[in-house]
């Protein structure tokens, strides 16, 4: 039996709907037989009538309604059709959900699923990775699962968390990533995972970039470099301790992310390591992000825009030679 990343998300939602009557799914095209633009809810509307609801194209109202429902005790999952469209709901997510507990002491247990990242030909408005924006504002948890197992357990955990969770699922991984089975328990959010142990260089990554980093580590192993690869799993909270411990082992750091270069996850990791682990660094820490332009449409341009294994390898080799 083989299960894809997308199927894991669907299974998690099925389990949530089954086990918790407070859960409902709210989003565009999620209901009926259609089951979502990416089939993440296929079959669920039928199995759980009245709990998988199609919304109008109203991202602001989708999240606003979720907030209201959460205040009244429900555990809504909002599916954004593409992460890129969540910008319409930015106000509700950042200013309403994100501030509510701090202002009123009443937490808002909503989960907003963002299909993130690019696939060839998706273009500037169907490819974005917005984890950096959401992590920047206080009051939100931001998850970035990179594996089939994490996709499953972290979504279940997201709904259980009393605070708003932005769950960034990567579209490229939907059908490309497969696992043999789903775990019954997962590692709690807030803990990064050492995906590959090493001693010469630490690559910190998350989501789809994890797999690029692992490919690079494999390649460089053939050149006798042992690269340690860390999967952050969640970018907020960010597991600084695991990163520091790794840099303590290797002395060299490369951060790789798919979002735009200014600020963001890679900058945050490096800022923390520079501040708390300066004495651990044997070379200046480096990072690699997408280019500082909107995401291009043409597959050639798209694959040049985002970090890929070739770019990561080049950067890693340069850092290893320092």
Partner 1 sequence: MPQVPIIMPQLGESIAEATIVDIKVKPGDEVADDQEILDVETNKAVMGVTTPCKGKIAQITVQLKETYPVGAVLGYVEASEADAARFARQAPPQAQREVAEEIPARADQEVAPAREKKVAARDGDGARAGGLPVPVTPKGATFMSPRIRARMAELQLTTADLAGIMGTGAGNRVTIKDLENFLFKIESQTAQDASAIRTGVADAMRRSWTRPLSTIGSSVNLDPVLQDRQSRDPKPGPGLYALRALALALAETPGAAAKLIGNRVVQSTSIDVGIAVEAEDGIMVPVIRSAEKTSLVDLATKYKELIELARQRRISPDMQAGGIATVSNFGTFGMEWGTPIPLPDQTLLLGLGAGKKVPSWNEQKKEFVPRTEAQITLSFDHRSIDGGGAGRLLKRVIELLETPKKL
Partner 2 sequence: MLQTAQRQSKAKKPSPPHERFLEAYRWMLLTRTLEEKLVSLYRGGLITGGVYIGKGQEAVSAACGLFLQKGDIFAPLIRDQAGRSAFGEPLLDVTRTYLGSRQGPMRGRDGNIHRGRPQDNQLAMVSHLGAMISVTVGALMAKRFKGEKDFIGLACIGEGGMQTGAFHEGMNIAAVEQVPLVIVATNNHYAYSTPNDREFACHDLVDRAIGYGFEGYSLDGTDLSACLEVIGGAVKRARAGRPPQLVVASVLRLSGHGEHDDASYVTEEIKREPFARDCLKVAEQTIADLNLVDAKTLTEWRKEAAVKVDEAIATAQKEAPPEGDKEDWCAISVRDLVDSPE
Interface with partner 1 (CB under 8 A): 172-173, 176-177, 208, 211-212, 214-216, 218-219, 222-224, 251, 278-284, 303, 308-310, 313-314, 317-318, 321-322
Q: Which does 293 bind (CB under 5 to 8 A by kind): partner 1, partner 2, none?
A: none
Q: In the window 212-241, what residues touch partner 2 (CB under 8 A)?
A: 236-238, 240
Among the listed ranges 33-41, 101-109, 114-122, 205-213, the one in contact with partner 2 (CB under 8 A) is 101-109
Sequence-separated contacts (24+) of 267-276 with Cβ below 8 Å: 268/135, 268/235, 268/238, 269/204, 269/232, 269/238, 269/240, 269/243, 272/238, 272/240, 272/243, 272/244, 273/243, 273/244, 273/247, 276/240, 276/244
Selecting among 7, 59, 228, 268, the annotated active-site residue is: 59
Q: Which does 218 bind (CB under 5 to 8 A by kind): partner 2, partner 1, none?
A: partner 1
Residue 212 interacting entry, from partner 1, partner 2, none, C-beta within 5 to 8 Å by type: partner 1
Residue 205 β-bridge partners: 231
Write the burial class of residue 275 (CB in 10 Å: 0-12 exposed, 13-18 middle, 19+ buried). Answer: exposed
Residue in 168, 170, 320 with CA at minimum distance from that of residue 254 = 320
Is 157 annotated in the active site? no
Among residues 14, 37, 61, 194, the one that binds partner 2 under rule CB under 8 A = 61
Residue with smaller CB distance to partner 2, 67 or 313: 67
* Dist CA 64 CA 216 (whole Å): 42
Map the footprint of partner 2 across residues 6-35, applying CB under 8 A. Answer: 22, 24
Q: Does 122 bind partner 2 (CB under 8 A)?
A: no
- Cα distances (Å, whole numbers) of residue 176 to 106, 119, 128, 142, 250: 40, 11, 18, 23, 31
Residue 37 binding result from partner 2, partner 1, none, given CB thresholds of 5 to 8 Å by partner type: none
Which CB sits closer to partner 2, 141 or 208?
A: 141
The residues carrying an active-site annotation are: 59, 126
């Amino acid at each position: 039996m083989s299960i894809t990343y997308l199927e894991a998300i669907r299974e998690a939602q099925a389990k949530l709907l089954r086990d918790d009557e407070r859960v409902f799914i709210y989003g565009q095209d999620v209901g009926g037989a259609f089951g979502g633009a990416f089939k993440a809810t296929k079959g669920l509307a039928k199995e759980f009538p009245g709990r998988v609801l199609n919304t109008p194209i109203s991202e602001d109202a989708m999240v606003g309604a979720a907030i209201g429902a959460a205040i009244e005790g429900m555990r809504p999952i909002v599916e954004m059709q593409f992460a890129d469209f969540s910008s319409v709901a930015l106000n509700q997510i950042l200013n309403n959900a994100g501030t509510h507990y701090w202002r009123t002491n009443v937490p808002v247990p909503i989960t907003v699923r963002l299909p993130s990242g690019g696939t060839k030909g998706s273009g500037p408005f169907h490819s974005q990775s917005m984890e950096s924006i959401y992590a920047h504002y206080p009051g939100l948890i931001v998850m970035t699962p990179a594996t089939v197992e994490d996709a499953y357990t972290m979504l279940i955990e997201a709904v259980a968390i009393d605070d708003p969770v932005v769950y960034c699922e990567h579209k490229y991984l939907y059908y490309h990533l497969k696992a043999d089975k789903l775990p019954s328990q997962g590692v709690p959010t807030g803990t990064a995972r050492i995906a590959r142990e090493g001693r010469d260089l630490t690559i910190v990554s998350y989501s789809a970039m994890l797999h690029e980093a692992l490919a690079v580590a494999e390649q460089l192993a053939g050149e006798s470099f042992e690269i340690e690869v860390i999967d952050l799993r969640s970018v907020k909270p960010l597991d600084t301790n695991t990163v520091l411990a790794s840099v303590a082992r290797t002395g060299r750091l490369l951060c790789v992310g798919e979002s735009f270069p200014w600020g963001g996850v890679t900058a945050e990791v490096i800022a923390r390591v520079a501040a708390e682990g300066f004495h651990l660094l044997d070379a200046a820490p480096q990072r690699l992000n997408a280019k500082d332009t909107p995401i291009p449409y043409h597959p050639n341009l798209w694959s040049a825009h985002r970090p890929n294994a070739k770019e990561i390898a080049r950067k890693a080799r340069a850092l290893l030679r320092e």
